[in-house]
Amino acid sequence: MSEIYVIHENPSWLAPLAEALSAEALPWTEWFMHNGSFDLAAPPPEGVFYNRMSASSHTRDHRFSAELTAGVLAWLKRWGRIVVNGPAALDLEISKVRQYAALEASGLRTPRTIMVAGRDQIVPAAFAHFAGEPVILKPNRGGKGLGVQLFHTLEGLKEHVESDSYIEPVDGIQLLQTYVRAPRPVVTRAEFTGRRFTYAVEVDTSEGFELCPADVCAIGELACPVGKVSGKPVHKFTIVEGIDARLRSQLEAFLERAGVDVAGIEFIIGEDGQPLVYDVNTNTNYNPEAEARAGIAGTPRSGMGALSAYLGRRLAEPRSRAA
Ligand SMILES: Nc1ncnc2c1ncn2[C@@H]1O[C@H](COP(=O)(O)OP(=O)(O)O)[C@@H](O)[C@H]1O
Ligand SMILES: [Mg+2]
């Protein structure tokens, strides 16, 4: 029987999707991508393959899951299978540098970024490009905000890079990036399903910038739905009606051009009022508390509701059953 195959490496991120797929009574199965063997000469099963491999998989002791998935996706494509978030999506998921190239090629602006390989190259590059400015250090292969740090001075950056707490990025590439000051202390993550806008969530960054719009609070994070600023409760994640229409169509065009089907795209509105896009997440999670407050939890307008409906439509395509 033709089914939906969910390619992933993190069981706790799978639970909300499992619930939504089951609610739609869609046949599905999981492919846990940590180890295993694949006969490349044999055809894969019939169905729709949905890739949810995450850039942060290496932080869960799955160092080679992304590499294994790249091979599996190539095999699926070679056999003509329908793949949602195929090789092009994985390619962007694991490299911010490649994200930025693709975003800029679609006319979207990204923060000024210097790519650095080599621990001893970071400080000289920072002095050459960010003298007198705050700077952000982030790994090229990111996820969950891990390793993303803001330095107000380059002396602070130097101290960190020379310290024992410095962590070498998994692909050897660090990014030095302009710290975007947002007049309104929010970042926005716009969610897209089937390359179309689903909704956006605003993340309050007044407590600190190192937040991750979905992942921090997305899964069973009922413990942290509400933060506190000066003792006052503040909702960190708020679903907003929409985003600027021009930006929305530019982001949809970017997904079309890049061949990415499902994504959460993060941007900040800078001091000049223009959006700067800094993160494309192809393995997207949704914030259940914000969805509940917006009255869309468990409906087709929720993130997982829209996603499972989309996967169901792809499964109904004749090609998913063709030999
Ligand atoms: N250039 C920047 N200026 C200001 N804040 C930033 C910038 N880059 C990242 N951030 C903040 O840090 C968080 C994590 O960075 P991000 O690039 O999304 O890394 P990750 O891929 O780990 O999610 C963002 O959600 C945002 O709040
Ligand atoms: Mg992010």
Q: Would the pLDDT of 230 be above 60?
A: no
Q: Which of 62, 2, 76 is nearest to 283 (CA)?
A: 62
Least confident of 8-17, 219-228, 251-260: 219-228
- CATH class of the domain comprising 96-108+182-297: alpha beta
- CATH class of the domain comprising 113-178: alpha beta
Percentage of the chain modeled with pLDDT above 90? 85
Question: CA-to-CA distance for 203 and 272, rounded, in angstroms?
Answer: 20
Strand partners, 82: 48
Most ligand 1 atoms within 8 A of CB, residue of 112, 140, 279 to mutate: 279
Q: Would the pLDDT of 225 be above 60?
A: no
Ranges for all domains in the chain classified under CATH 3.30.470.20? 96-108+182-297
Q: Would the pLDDT of 214 be above 60?
A: no
Ranges for all domains in the chain classified under CATH 3.30.1490? 113-178
What tokens were used for 263? 């994504």
Chain segment 102-133, per-residue pLDDT in tens: 999 999 999 999 999 999 999 999 999 999 99
Beta strands, E only, 55-204: 82-84, 113-117, 135-139, 149-151, 173-178, 186-193, 196-204
Does ligand 1 have an atom closer than 6 angstroms to the CB of 210? yes
**pLDDT value of position 321:** 63
Beta strands 3-8 and 47-51: pairing type?
Answer: parallel
Contact, 186 vs 205, CB < 8 A?
Answer: yes
Question: CA-to-CA distance for 304 and 186, rounded, in angstroms?
Answer: 24
**pLDDT tier, 1 (very low <50, low <70, confident <90, very high otherwise):** confident
Does ligand 1 have an atom closer than 6 angstroms to the CB of 148? yes
Does ligand 1 have an atom closer than 6 angstroms to the CB of 145? yes
Report the separation in Å between the CA atom of 143 and the middle of ligand 2, taken as the mean of its atom positions.
Answer: 6
Question: CA-to-CA distance for 314 and 261, rounded, in angstroms?
Answer: 11
Does ligand 1 have an atom closer than 6 angstroms to the CB of 211? yes
Residue nearest (by alpha carbon) to ligand 1 atom 1: 179
Ranges for all domains in the chain classified under CATH 3.40.50.20? 3-93+309-320
| Contacts (Cβ under 8 Å, ≥6 apart) of 285 | 13, 16, 214, 215, 218, 219, 264, 303
- CATH class of the domain comprising 3-93+309-320: alpha beta
Contact, 73 vs 90, CB < 8 A?
Answer: yes
Query: Cα 44 from chain centroid?
Result: 27
Does ligand 1 have an atom closer than 6 angstroms to the CB of 143? yes
Report the separation in Å between the CA atom of 32 and the middle of ligand 1, taken as the mean of its atom positions.
Answer: 28
Query: Cα 259 from chain centroid?
Result: 15
Torsion sign, CA atoms 308, 304, 249, 111 = negative
Q: Which ligand is nearest to the CA of 271?
A: 1
Q: Would the pLDDT of 249 be above 90?
A: yes
Does ligand 1 have an atom closer than 6 angstroms to the CB of 266? yes
What tokens were used for 111? 């923060």
Report the separation in Å between the CA atom of 278 and the middle of ligand 2, taken as the mean of its atom positions.
Answer: 8
Does ligand 1 have an atom closer than 6 angstroms to the CB of 87? no
Express the helix, strand and coil content of the chain in percent, nearest 5 each. Answer: 35, 25, 40
What tokens were used for 117? 């390989």
Report the separation in Å between the CA atom of 295 and the middle of ligand 1, taken as the mean of its atom positions.
Answer: 28
**pLDDT tier, 220 (very low <50, low <70, confident <90, very high otherwise):** very low
Q: Would the pLDDT of 317 be above 70?
A: yes
Does ligand 1 have an atom closer than 6 angstroms to the CB of 216? no
| Contacts (Cβ under 8 Å, ≥6 apart) of 191 | 197, 198, 199, 200, 201, 263, 264, 284, 286, 303
